[in-house]
């Protein structure tokens, strides 16, 4: 099989894993919460799988960039910005800090959800800007 296709499949599989963990971890903000803090069950596994999936997405994304000789469409830059928004929102939503209220974490989750939905819409629609 073509190596470009293999890397692309790994890239998209990691995106799917990241999306699954995004949804499952979001539940910890609604089910079994402890006062103003998220449900601590499975925290270590969520952190590990989230780190793994986002790392593989970035590494395979960079490999694909090299394979394409950085010849990208204009929407690719929007994709990177949305990805950075997604990452920074997730860092804030799940930061270990007793002073962050659940309502604030949930607001961050809304931002992250919009970024993730935007990312998926972008790669599906591949808008042409010229």
* Interface positions with ligand HEM (CB under 6 A): 8, 11-12, 15, 18, 57-58, 61-62, 64-65, 68, 83, 119-120, 123
Q: How far is the CB of 107 from ligand HEM (least distance, A)?
A: 20
- CB of 18: closest distance to ligand HEM in angstroms? 6
Q: How far is the CB of 99 from ligand HEM (least distance, A)?
A: 29
Residues with Cβ within 8 Å of 56's Cβ and at least 6 positions away in sequence, in order, are 10, 11, 14
Backbone angles phi, psi at 98, to 5 degrees: -65, -20
With respect to ligand HEM, which residue has the nearer C-beta, 64 or 78? 64
Nearer to ligand HEM, 16 or 103 (CB): 16
Which residue's Cβ lies closest to ligand HEM? 61
Is there a contact between 20 and 70 (Cβ–Cβ < 8 Å)?
no
Of 20 and 31, CB closest to ligand HEM: 20
Which one, 73 or 97, has the nearer CB to ligand HEM? 73
Helical ranges in the chain per DSSP H: 3-26, 43-67, 75-93, 102-125
Separation of alpha carbons 88 and 50, rounded Å: 13
Which whole-number Å values give the CA distances from 120 to 78, 86, 107, in the listed order? 12, 12, 20
Least separation in angstroms between residue 123's CB and ligand HEM is 4
Phi-psi region of 73 (alpha: psi -120 to 50; beta: other; left: phi over 0): beta
Residue closer to ligand HEM, measured from CB, 6 or 101: 6
């Amino acid at each position: 099989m073509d190596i470009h296709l293999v890397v692309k499949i790994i890239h998209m599989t990691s995106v799917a894993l990241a999306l699954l963990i995004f949804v499952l971890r979001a539940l910890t903000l609604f089910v079994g919460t402890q006062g103003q803090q998220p449900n601590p069950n499975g925290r270590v596994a969520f952190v590990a799988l989230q780190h793994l999936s986002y790392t593989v997405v970035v590494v395979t994304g960079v490999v694909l960039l090299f394979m394409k000789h950085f010849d990208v469409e204009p929407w690719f830059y929007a994709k990177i910005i949305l990805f950075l928004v997604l990452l920074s929102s997730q860092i804030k939503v799940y930061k270990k800090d007793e002073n962050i209220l659940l309502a604030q974490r949930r607001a961050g989750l809304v931002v992250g959800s919009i970024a993730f939905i935007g990312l998926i819409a972008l790669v599906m629609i591949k808008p042409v800007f010229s």
